[in-house]
Chain A
Amino acid sequence: EIVLTQSPATLSLSPGERATLSCRASQSVSSYLAWYQQKPGQAPRLLIYDASNRATGIPARFSGSGSGTDFTLTISSLEPEDFAVYYCQQRSNWPPLTFGQGTRLEIK
């Protein structure tokens, strides 16, 4: 099973700042990695798939990069609605499909 480790666990930033979230895989997942955003009481929302492809309707301030074992989700300029929990997910070697433990992005 591929283990995904996200860092940091919590990130405290202010609106307008740049956010950089990390996801590291226990073995190579090529580019088969996605990012999701989850707000309290809501279902997750797909942001990025295949490491760098934005999903339909996702603003351009969200971008993904990386390949192999190291991946990054960048939010170029934080909007108030971006404060949430973010999860990465791999589909390279499955079953099982696996998720990281999440990064909480909170308002500073």
Chain B
Amino acid sequence: QVQLVESGGGVVQPGRSLRLSCAASGFTFSSYGMHWVRQAPGKGLEWVAVISFDGSNKYYADSVKGRFTISRDNPKNTLYLQMNSLRPEDTAVYYCAKELGVKWAAEYYFDHWGQGTLVTVSS
């Protein structure tokens, strides 16, 4: 069965960096786009970034553009989110999510989610 396990969250000071990882199993990772979605405490869902199945295309929310970088290592079945210049408003649970559609038939819906990792940005 599909399994997504995030790691790398924690408490970090404003302006510092953090890298999140998402280990994938139970499906052909290299055939699916992957997303990061975040949820601030007690708030709704916010899409953060997407990377295509082969890593050739990446898109970001305006709120993180220029500060966050999504990447993937297909041989290692792992998705990453490098977060630089962190701000208090980046405090959230970060979920990795699998794309519903396969390869070029991406649907931009999220059919499997990890359990999330909490990032807290505070001095």
Q: Which A residues form the contact surface with B (CB < 8 A)?
A: 32, 34, 36, 38, 42-46, 49-50, 55-56, 87, 89, 91, 94-102
* Segment touching A, from B12-20, B21-29, B43-51, B71-79: B43-51
A30 to B95 alpha-carbon distance, docked (Å): 27
What residues on B are CB-neighbors of A44 within 8 Å?
A: 45, 95, 110, 113
A contacts with B: majority SS:
loop
What residues on A are CB-neighbors of B35 within 8 Å?
A: 97
What residues on A are CB-neighbors of B109 within 8 Å?
A: 34, 46, 49, 89, 91
Q: Report the interface size class on chain B.
A: 20 to 34
> In chain B, what residue has the closest Cβ to A49?
B109
Whether A91 and B46, one on each chain, are in contact in the complex, defined by CB atoms closer than 8 angstroms, is no
What residues on B are CB-neighbors of A50 within 8 Å?
A: 107
What residues on B are CB-neighbors of A38 within 8 Å?
A: 45
